[in-house]
Amino acid sequence: MDGRKENMMGQCISIKSLSQALCSFILFVLLMSCGNRIYGPYLISYHLVDQIEAKKKYVGDFQKILLTNTDSIYVSPVYYKQYGNIPNSYQIAVRLRKQLSLEKQIACTSKNFGSIPFQSEITNTWPEGYHEIIFVKKLGSLERQTKLDSIYKDIIELKIGKNEQFLFDFEKHRISN
């Protein structure tokens, strides 16, 4: 037998060509299904870098940071592969008590991508008496791996007023003073 079979239409098909076609098809399917994993994660969370661990704790997606014994803020700094209709962007959500009146004194900056502009302010139901300020920055169109490296190595700075400054990093405690 020479490794050929006849199909229903009377055509000769080589088993070797069938196996090559099947291997090519499987490889194509694998590459297509892994496509999103190749180009990076959907989101990357950043963590507060703080010398005094007692100043923060995690509450859901937010990090609760004590400003004083009675006041705290909630911060959620995240890179999104897609945030709403904005691709490749930072979204920093800051929840603070309405009585603090600091919303005009908050600024966000990325070490690698510059200022992160104010996008909106909304009233929240959680925690009660807090409102949320959102900063969003669409990142430029760098080559994908270069951009991903820049995102992983980035440091996000949140300034509140003239006295409070908080740094957020992908790798906890990587920043050295």
For position 36, what pLDDT does the model report? Answer: 43
Instruction: State which residues of the chain have pLDDT below 70.
Output: 1-40, 51-54, 101-103, 124-125, 140-146, 171-177
For position 110, what pLDDT does the model report? Answer: 93
pTM of the model: 0.69
Chain mean pLDDT for the chain? 75
How far apart CA 23 and CA 95 sit, in angstroms, is 53
What single string gives the DSSP state of each residue in 96-146?
EEGGG--GGGEEEEETTTEEE-EEEEEE-SSSTTEEEEEEEEEPP---HHH
Length reported for the chain: 177
DSSP code, position 155 = E
Under 8 Å between Cβ of 61 and 77:
no
3-state secondary structure of 33: helix
Q: Which of 151, 168, 173 is nearest to 93 (CA)?
A: 168
Q: Which of 75, 76, 74 is nearest to 45 (CA)?
A: 76
Q: What is the pLDDT of residues 10-57, one digit of tens each?
A: 555 566 666 666 656 665 555 554 444 445 677 888 888 876 655 777
How far apart CA 74 and CA 65 sit, in angstroms, is 6
Q: Which residues pair with 133 in a beta bridge?
A: 94, 121
- Cβ neighbourhood burial of 120 (10 Å; 0-12, 13-18, 19+): exposed
* Cα separation values, 26 from 17, 19, 30, 152, Å: 14, 10, 6, 32
Under 8 Å between Cβ of 97 and 106:
no
